[in-house]
Amino acid sequence: MTRANGLLIAIDGTAGTGKSSVGKAVAARMGYGFLSTGEMYRALAYKVFAKNITPEDHDAVLAAARALRFTFIRQPDATLKMFVDGEFLGAKLHLEEVGNVASRVSTNGEARHVLTEKMREVGQDGAIVMEGRDIGTVVFPDADIKFYLDASAEERANRRVKQLQEAGEKPDYAEILRLIQERDYRDSHRAVSPLKPAEDAIIIDTSHLNMEQVIAAVLEKLPHHAS
């Protein structure tokens, strides 16, 4: 092990594959921290949205990224609670509009560079599970172990519909599927850090697996896990 505190575990993949839940559970089992890096792109999106900046306005988005001040406080469940300019944004980051703007601002290469540096500061000493789109390819190409989770767009749309129904909403399956396909296309076709598995990533197709099975599949591959 080359890092001060433990392994650096990267989990990448498309939206809606359960990366966060899996990452959190694996981190808890290992006694590691967990960071969902999409939250950082969502924080940038939130600021861009609040300041009425067009997500395609390169310089304004870059300035907003540079101005972000993140602090992370480790919670009992291993997650790192993120404060943005001293404020906990919580559920505001998970509004559908914020997710959409996040996908758009994340095509800005220079803003990505700024956020990537901030992610490296958090993860460099290890003992952490970092979840995102480009952790294993760009942020930490030297991660100790890399996973890439995938699932069909239809299955991910089903999961999202179920989630929204459980939250008391009446989601439209066709619309959700369309948004997922649109986001996948944008995330995997952007010029900078397009979504793709690292060459040395372990790919797990979660379409026909439940959460417990995915967690077990990840834990099984870890060098030092105590089962």
Size of the site for ligand DC (CB under 6 A): 15
* Alpha-carbon 197 to chain mean position: 14
Cα dihedral 85/89/92/97 (nearest 10): 30
The Cα 186–Cα 227 span in angstroms is 39
Give whichever of 167 and 226 is closer to ligand DC, judged by the CB atom: 167
14 counts as binding ligand DC under rule CB under 6 A: no
Give whichever of 7 and 15 is closer to ligand DC, judged by the CB atom: 15
User: What radius of gyration, in Å, describes the C-alpha atoms of the chain?
Assistant: 17
The stretch near ligand DC (CB under 6 A) out of 60-68, 96-104, 150-158, 210-218 is 96-104
* Residue pointed to by tokens 């294993």: 136
49 counts as binding ligand DC under rule CB under 6 A: no
187 counts as binding ligand DC under rule CB under 6 A: yes
Give the DSSP H/E element, type plus range, for residue 66. helix 58-67
106 counts as binding ligand DC under rule CB under 6 A: yes
Q: Which of 32, 41, 46, 140 binds ligand DC (CB under 6 A)?
A: 41
Q: Which residue is nearest to ligand DC (CB)?
A: 38
Q: How many residues does the chain have?
A: 227
Give whichever of 15 and 215 is closer to ligand DC, judged by the CB atom: 15
